[in-house]
Amino acid sequence: MLKLDLYKPDIHLIKLVLLWFVVVACVFLRVISQPDRYTSPDSYAYLHKAEKISDHQEG
Amino acid sequence: MPFGPPGPNQHKVASANWPIGYSFLIHITSRTTGLSSLWASKLVNVIFLTLIFLLLYLWYNDNAWFVALTFVSYSSFEIFSHTWSEGPFLFFVILLAYLIYKQYDLPDSSRNWVYLCSCLLALFLLRYAGLVFLLLIGGLAIYCFWKKDLKGVKQYLMALSVATILIGTYLIYNYNVSGAIFGAHNVRMSALGQVDFFMTYLNAIGFARIYVESKDIVYYGITAFQFVLIVLFFVLLYHEGRRSLSHKSRLLLNMAFFYLLTISTLKLLIHAIDFDYRMMAPFSILLFLGVLTVIQKNESTSRINWVLKSGFIVFAVFSIIINLPNRYILSVLQNLIY
């Protein structure tokens, strides 16, 4: 079960949260540093499909 | 309706090349947050990365942070940076492993088959490759029958039957709408070329870096480091024998090699699938999770285990450093200073 107690910070949970921040920060930095790479044709296919769903719903 | 990538008459032709799941998630996120589709896709990836971390905390408690070091691998950074459906797919792969593990723990729970079935559906709706996990559940039903675990047989067969009916319905609908069950008419030619299986496997087990990139000193250094860790891991297995492999680690490693075997067989039979580190990501992530589960013990039973655990933490820090866009960070820092 999840154990969240603000008065007794769990060092292992803090490590996990810090790691999460590191991974998300790395992903964010990679995306903004190489926008061309991370909107590749494969990506475009998914985005195109998502936009088509929007068009379909609005239509 | 599943629409496909841009092409001639794209506004009229619906295609089944990709299942609807990931695009639908992007659409919903874009609608609710007002973000563009591109940034909504990145947010979807971060949401699923967060869900993976929460699931690991639920499953591993205090050792979750160590096992979560899996996500500082090159494959993980690439998958969560691109707009690729593998991110959410990986969450459901790990969730499926968790549910199968729980089936051993709580075999009497009558709802297990509902969770398993929902997970199978989610896997299929995110990637057609998710279909291979139907075989896994079928195999588990046969295994439970062999072990005379009739409750297990019932749970797995119920999940498998309902998931098969619903997935079959989706595929028939796909065929009626687009004329192709899996959109096979639009296979990319790159996927049909010769495949270097050895290189793909090497890239799949390479933690910190893809092995087709430039061969510089960092490449040789990181390869040597990983090689030392692999040797230490096998020494640990040799010393501790069967007791080093817990139920959890066996399940994760078995699932990893099951995926490797089925995807490699599919590639040999069908050809029409990409076969690279991206397709192999479920194998890589399950393999890394399985290995880290073996060495994550709280109280180290041996000195080798302690060395391996410490060594891996240092290796993970190296992985983060070399996978950061260092030139970009330096240029931003230079702009800030001058």
Residue of A nearest to B316 (CA): A19
Q: Answer yes or no: do B22 and A46 touch at CB < 8 A.
A: yes
Residues of A in contact with B23 (CB under 8 A): 46-47, 49-50, 52-53
CA-closest candidate to residue B129, choices B179, B173, B90, B75? B90
Q: Answer yes or no: do A31 and B81 touch at CB < 8 A.
A: yes
Residue B184 has pLDDT above 70, yes or no: no
CA atoms of B231 and B98, how far apart (whole Å): 28
Q: Is residue B11 part of a domain?
A: no
Q: Is residue B272 part of a domain?
A: yes
Cβ distance B292 to B72 under 8 Å? no
Arithmetic mean of pLDDT, B55-75: 94
Instruction: Give how far A6 is from chain B: nearest CA, Å.
Output: 16
CA atoms of B250 and B259, how far apart (whole Å): 14
Residue of B nearest to A52 (CA): B3
What pLDDT sits at residue B199? 81
What pLDDT sits at residue A41? 65
Q: Answer yes or no: do A23 and B24 touch at CB < 8 A.
A: no
Q: Answer yes or no: do B5 and A48 touch at CB < 8 A.
A: yes
Residue A50 has pLDDT above 90, yes or no: no
- Residue B6 sits at φ, ψ, to 5 deg, of -60, 145
Which among B58, B82, B85 is the nearest to A38, CB-wise? Answer: B82
Q: Is residue B13 part of a domain?
A: no
Q: Is residue B10 part of a domain?
A: no
Least confident interval from A11-20, B85-94, B173-182: B173-182
**pLDDT tier at B8, thresholds 50, 70, 90:** very low
pLDDT digits (tens, 9 = 90+) for B210-232: 766 556 788 888 889 999 999 99
What pLDDT sits at residue B174? 85
Q: Answer yes or no: do A45 and B324 touch at CB < 8 A.
A: no
Q: How many CB atoms lie within 10 A of CB B195?
A: 17
Q: Answer yes or no: do B26 and A26 touch at CB < 8 A.
A: no
Pair of tokens at residue B202: 């090497």
Residue of A nearest to B274 (CA): A42
Interface test with B, best of A4, A13, A16, A36 (most B CBs within 10 A): A16
Residue B299 has pLDDT above 70, yes or no: no
Cβ distance B94 to B76 under 8 Å? no
CA atoms of B162 and B145, how far apart (whole Å): 19
Arithmetic mean of pLDDT, B121-128: 95
Q: How many CB atoms lie within 10 A of CB B33?
A: 11
Which among A12, A20, A46 is the nearest to B85, CB-wise? Answer: A46
CA atoms of B149 and B201, how far apart (whole Å): 35
CA-closest candidate to residue A31, choices B284, B43, B33? B43
Q: Is residue B100 part of a domain?
A: yes
Which among A29, A43, A49 is the nearest to B84, CB-wise? Answer: A43
CA atoms of B270 and B281, how far apart (whole Å): 19
Classify the phi-psi angles of B13: left when phi > 0, otherwise alpha if psi is within -120 to 50, otherwise beta. Answer: beta
Q: Answer yes or no: do B1 and A56 touch at CB < 8 A.
A: yes
Q: Answer yes or no: do B56 and A42 touch at CB < 8 A.
A: no
Domain count, chain B: 1
Pair of tokens at residue B259: 């995926």
Cβ distance B137 to B156 under 8 Å? yes
Mean pLDDT of chain B: 85
Interface test with A, best of B29, B80, B128 (most A CBs within 10 A): B80
DSSP-based three-state secondary structure for B221: helix
Angle (CA) B234-B240-B241 rounded to 5° is 80
What pLDDT sits at residue B327? 86
Which among A23, A27, A47 is the nearest to B38, CB-wise? Answer: A47
Cβ distance B127 to B17 under 8 Å? no
CA-closest candidate to residue B141, choices B132, B128, B129, B150? B150
What are the respective helix, strand and coil percentages of chain A, to the nearest 5? 75, 0, 25
Q: Is residue B268 part of a domain?
A: yes
Instruction: Quote ipTM for the complex.
Output: 0.87
Residue of B nearest to A48 (CA): B5
Least confident interval from B135-144, B180-189, B288-297: B180-189
- Inter-chain CB pairs, A–B, below 8 Å: 140
Alpha carbon B1 to its chain centroid, in Å, reads: 26
What pLDDT sits at residue B157? 94
Q: Which residue range forms the structural domain that includes residue B92?
A: 20-182+190-337
Residue A43 has pLDDT above 70, yes or no: no
Q: Answer yes or no: do A50 and B69 touch at CB < 8 A.
A: no
Which among B27, B49, B325 is the nearest to A53, CB-wise? Answer: B27
CA-closest candidate to residue B296, choices B66, B15, B31? B66
Residue with tokens 């960092």, as numbered in its chain = B218
Q: Is residue B3 part of a domain?
A: no
pLDDT digits (tens, 9 = 90+) for B160-183: 999 999 999 999 988 888 777 876
Q: Which amino acid is at B325?
A: P
Q: How many residues does chain B have?
A: 338
Beta strands in B105-232 (DSSP E): none
Interface test with A, best of B62, B276, B313 (most A CBs within 10 A): B62
Residue B135 has pLDDT above 90, yes or no: yes
**pLDDT tier at B59, thresholds 50, 70, 90:** very high
Residue B4 has pLDDT above 80, yes or no: no
